[in-house]
Amino acid sequence: MAKTVADQLIAQLIEAGVHRIYGIVGDSLNPIVDAVRRTGGSAKGGIDWIHVRHEEAAAFAASAYAQLTGELAVCAGSCGPGNLHLINGLYDAHRSGAPVLAIASQIPSVEIGSSYFQETHPERLFVECSNYCELVSTAAQAPRVVNSAIRHATGLGGVAVVALPGDIAELEAVGTAPLFTPTGRPTIVPDAAGVAALAAAINDAKTVAIFAGAGVEGAHDEVIAFAERIAAPIGHSLRGKQWIQYDNPLDVGMTGLLGYGAAHAGIHDADLVILLGTDFPYEQFLPDAKEAVIAQIDADASHLGRRTSVAHPVHGDVLPTLAALTPLVAEKTDRGFLDKTVARHHKLLTSVVGKYTDVDTLTPIHPEYAASVLDEVLADDAIITADTGMSNVWQARYITPNGKRRIIGSFLHGSMANALPQSIGAQFAYPDRQVVTMSGDGGLSMLMGELLTVMTYRLPVKIVVFNNSTLGLVKLEMFVDGYPDFGVDVPSVDYAAVANALGIFAQRVEDPQELRGALERAFAHNGPALVDVVTDPLALSLPAAISLDQVKGFSLAMSKLVLNGGVGEAVQMVRSNIRHVPGL
């Protein structure tokens, strides 16, 4: 039987299948850390303590582990500043539906409410980024709160937070913890009337397009078979890319700011558009409900119709919904719209995105070329994390899914500095798989201390830095809004030298013809490795569809840049980006 509340909590986590806790030791958290020590580590059936350098990284690492495995992951922070540092990573985990439990230790219980040193109220602070957030006030209450937290995190998907004062954690345990037996995920079967109404709308429509999101996971073949039957091109969101793009003859790319190909045109030209398992948030990239009939299928009823007006909402998982829907729709024999859209997609891939794969002599290195070479060198089952920003763009456009690779990022929260800490959780989850980061220099520099974590545990993570000495996506946002870029450029840093100083195998690449060899050497290295790729700071990204307002904004910003004496930079920017403009 557990001796203390802390022992009892750790025993409950072990029973729930937890193998490690990511965090930083300290003060009020010490009883928990000591209880972890006494388990003997995962090799002896206990829990490992993974010492990160910033608690934000602990939350990102736990989130990545949970997203990739579907299993409960745990992070922890000491009272006050310690657990406050968790919050950004927990927001990302919660929005991603990752089952993460956060232990937020608290000041001595008798001091709560007295403006004590480091006093905060985690049971209030973490409410918005969790499904469950409770303060443990007595030893008898503790096991039930911990059990409820585990149930909420694993059952609902998302974050649960247990706030635990250090003095309560040291108390003698009371009673027996509730038994935890995990349950499987239920299948949501749609209402028959809603399915029948959608089938009738599909049969009435001359042309149909599908826009697929992360909800199509596990339904790859069924979605394609359904699309074939109704002659519908399939576009996808960033989160849907890895589940539907591969082995898909009907694929027409991705829409949105990171988009490419004919997806935007496809879903805007169809009479009926089916939003399939997606809660795509950017209304400006969705078709106007006044011009097209919009249907939506989603396992979460709260997603239905919240981005655009939906004429045919269907609440259900994708697989059972398609199983019910497919027999009710007539096969469409006119494939003109489908063939035209697919042909346009192929043309765009070769005339726009593809143009950047042949610049193997230009310096600075084009980031698109670097991403293309990286894609060719990656293992078939690699896990690729990407920082929010331009690295995210190149991941979206150039990393090829194949049904085995996994891509993750801060896709819903949009945080910087996520790629490196996510790779830590990913490598612990799959120690024998290749884990590669696509790190921006801006993102890497924010949580660069985690290079020490990677080195400490000898994690064979491969860190590829797209080093353009600027915040590239912010630069683009400024130009699109009509502002000249300001405050986005930073001094050049040799991240290979930094990594080498830490004992990490690292190379700096400035010549594009040396890139492939550098990546191959890094990937062959037995241990952590970093490749610092110096890329063109003026290479930006434009979406597949550009509005007149965006063109005006970019032109205005360029004019301001010239008037402020930056004519040379303006000319170079045009040279670096002219092939981004669709049709050129």
Full 3-state SS string of 273-309: EEEECCCCCCHHHCCCCCCCEEEEEECCHHHCCCCCC
The pLDDT of residue 367 is: 93
Distance (Å, rounded) from C-alpha 199 to C-alpha 195?
6
Burial 303-322 (b: 16+ CB within 10 A, else e): bbbebbebebbbbbbbbbbb
Q: Report the pLDDT averaged over residues 176-199.
A: 95
The pLDDT of residue 359 is: 76
pLDDT at 566 over 50: no
pLDDT at 123 over 90: yes
Write out pLDDT tens, residues 366-387. 999 999 999 999 999 999 999 9
Share of the chain above pLDDT 70, in %: 90
The pLDDT of residue 560 is: 42
Burial 187-198 (b: 16+ CB within 10 A, else e): ebebeeebbebb
Write out pLDDT tens, residues 514-534. 999 999 999 999 999 999 999
The pLDDT of residue 262 is: 79
Q: Which of 16-25, 96-105, 285-294, 399-408 has the lowest mean pLDDT?
A: 285-294
Fold adopted by 5-169: Rossmann fold (3.40.50)
| R_g (Cα) of the chain, nearest Å | 25
CATH class given for the domain over 192-343: alpha beta
Q: Report the pLDDT averaged over residues 542-548.
A: 52
**Binning pLDDT at 50, 70 and 90, where does residue 352 land?**
low
pLDDT at 361 over 90: no
**Binning pLDDT at 50, 70 and 90, where does residue 549 land?**
low
Domain 352-580 has CATH 3.40.50.970: yes
Residue, of 545 and 442, whose pLDDT is higher: 442
**Domain ranges within the chain, ordered by starting residue:** 5-169, 192-343, 352-580
Fold equal for 5-169 and 352-580:
yes
Torsion angles phi and psi, residue 204, rounded to 5 = -80, -25
- Mean pLDDT across the chain, nearest whole number? 91
Share of the chain above pLDDT 90, in %: 79
Distance (Å, rounded) from C-alpha 458 to C-alpha 508?
21
